[in-house]
Structure 1
């Protein structure tokens, strides 16, 4: 028979939540940043074009990464240890604080880095489903 333990940890949320964004680093960039000679990092704005709006770009020497915000339905909470405080029902003279945790920030989005290809390369052609369908139909007729 399973035993249930009474190990409740009081939880509270601070009113002044801090603003955080998590940055998801590709493994090669993380290795560069942890190296003995890390590169200088800068964030620039790409100019908007006729087909795309401008966006933030993280630059490290010869590599550029497009920064894209991703929202999540499961927020990450940043916690800090705390102690419970007496309520109006407690006697402050006899109150014994208990260890607890308090959330100081809720992170609902992360920043994803996407490696940008060199600008001299032509963008890859994306086949639309109807083009693929037409090619497969033409191949069937030839057989």
Structure 2
């Protein structure tokens, strides 16, 4: 009889985690990047004003997106296939390695792109049904 442990995959984590950032692409930008003539992307910085600090802009030629870093409470791990190796307790001459996976990066924040209008204003699309927003709202209701 098979057990739940018959398909174990060894897991390890690299001591040196590689730096990664995930970029959340709006659907229209993804479509443009997958087209026959994708736009050339450049990153510039906006000039700070008296009321706003400078920020990074992703330019596509026809559109500009403000780049915002968003933290996540659920880190994403980037995995790489690997193989187990002999430990000090194993006999290296008879050891048979097996497939495994290794975490090479832990991503705790993503880059969100928010469309900037021609007049420089950000086209903020309200996010709805986000877990953290529901949680914060329910916590506020319990206090009163």
Residues 27-54 of structure 1 deviation map (CA, whole Å, 9 limit, x = unaligned): 0011111111111111110011111110
Question: How far, CA to CA, are the matches of 1:99 and 1:37 in structure 2?
Answer: 40
Indicate the structure (1 or 2) with the bigger Cα radius of gyration.
Answer: 1
Q: Over the residues paired in the alignment, what is the CA RMSD in angstroms? A: 1.9
SS at match of 1:28: helix
1:80 aligned residue: 80
1:11 aligned residue: 11
Residues 104-126 of structure 1 deviation map (CA, whole Å, 9 limit, x = unaligned): 111111100000112177x9xxx
Question: How far, CA to CA, are the matches of 2:80 and 2:104 in structure 1?
Answer: 7
Structure-2-length-normalised TM-score: 0.78
1:46 aligned residue: 46
Structure-1-length-normalised TM-score: 0.78
For the pair 1:90 / 2:94, whether they are aligned, the reply is no
Residues 61-82 of structure 1 deviation map (CA, whole Å, 9 limit, x = unaligned): 1211000001111111111111
1:130 aligned residue: none
Moved >6 Å (runs of 4+): none
5+ residue gaps in structure 1? 124-143
* Aligned-pair CA distance for 1:85: 0.9
Name the count of aligned residue pairs.
121
2:58 aligned residue: 58
